[in-house]
């Protein structure tokens, strides 16, 4: 773990490789413990390293999906993944999921991951990036809006966390200028 700002600047933000499988599974298992803002409850995730490796390989082979990680001293501090649509009418869009370890949060890592994500999306011809976020996740909403994601609606009681209904916001970033230039009213 880093203990000063200098070491945090050495965090490498890059596309995942199959060799990241064990570290990625470890990252996701730790995030399941650290935050209630993501999908899995602690102990719920059942993936194996082999399954995660296959998932990474699938993303590397896909033109409209990606997985970007923040690597630091042999571990992963965060990730963002985009899963592209599988139908002709949705291949231009991708669903985004992101997480940064608590120890590294609030220091610009989410920003670096999302910059890499939108750079990839624009280069890959992805028009629409979409995600959902719990309404009380101010840090995540701030990050997404910083990158041009706009609120599209509220998903009422879409999650039940610790026995209580939680609403989510649906947000999306449409590549700047695309909707207007494609003649969509
Ligand atoms: C949400 C998350 C990815 C943000 O990553 P991060 O590395 O902390 O983000 P950054 O430090 O780059 O901050 C990016 C922006 O987020 C917003 N932000 C960050 N922390 C914030 C906070 N505590 N309150 C309000 N806004 C905050 C700001 O807009 C900030 O931009 P700025 O520094 O230019 O003002 C990270 O906190 C996280 O993974 N949390 C737990 C899991 C999670 O919530 N995942 C998303 C599920 S939808």
Per-domain boundaries in the chain: 5-181
Residue 37 confidence (pLDDT): 98
Average pLDDT over residues 52-79: 97
Query: What is the CATH code for 5-181?
Result: 3.40.630.30
| d(CA 119, ligand 1 centre) in Å | 19
pTM of the model: 0.94
- In angstroms, rounded to a whole number, what is the distance separating the alpha carbons of residues 63 and 113? 19
Give the pLDDT of residue 179: 73
CA of 100 to the centre of ligand 1 (A): 8
Q: Is the pLDDT of residue 151 over 80?
A: yes
Atom of ligand 1 at shortest distance to CA of 131? Answer: 48
Structure tokens at 51: 């399954």
Hey, which residues does 166 pair with through a beta bridge?
159
- Choosing from 2, 39, 110, 170 the residue with most ligand 1 atoms within 8 A of its CB, the one to mutate for a pocket test is 110
Please count the helices (runs of H) and the strands (runs of E) in the chain: 6, 7
Q: How confident is the model at residue 5 (pLDDT cuts 50, 70, 90)?
A: very low
CA atoms within 13 A on the CB side of 179: 9
- Quick check: CB of 109 below 6 Å from ligand 1? yes
Are the C-beta atoms of 76 and 24 separated by less than 8 Å? yes
Residue nearest to atom 23 of ligand 1 (CA): 139
pLDDT digits (tens, 9 = 90+) for 46-55: 999 999 999 9
């Amino acid at each position: 773990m880093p203990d000063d700002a200098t070491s945090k600047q050495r965090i490498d933000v890059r596309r995942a490789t199959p060799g990241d499988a064990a570290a990625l599974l470890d990252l996701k298992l730790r995030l399941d413990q650290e935050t209630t803002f993501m999908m899995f409850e602690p102990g719920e995730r059942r993936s194996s390293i082999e399954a995660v490796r296959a998932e990474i390989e699938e993303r590397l082979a896909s033109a409209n999906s990606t997985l970007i990680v923040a690597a630091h001293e042999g571990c992963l501090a965060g990730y963002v993944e985009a899963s592209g649509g599988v139908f002709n009418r949705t291949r231009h869009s991708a669903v985004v999921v992101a997480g940064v370890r608590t120890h590294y949060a609030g220091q610009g890592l989410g920003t670096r991951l999302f910059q890499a994500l939108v750079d990839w999306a624009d280069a890959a011809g992805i028009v629409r990036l979409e995600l959902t976020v719990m309404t009380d996740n101010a840090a995540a909403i701030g990050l997404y809006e910083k990158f041009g994601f706009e609120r599209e609606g509220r998903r009422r009681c879409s999650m039940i966390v610790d026995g209580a209904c939680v609403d989510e916001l649906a947000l999306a970033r449409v590549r700047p200028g695309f909707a207007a230039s494609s003649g969509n009213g």
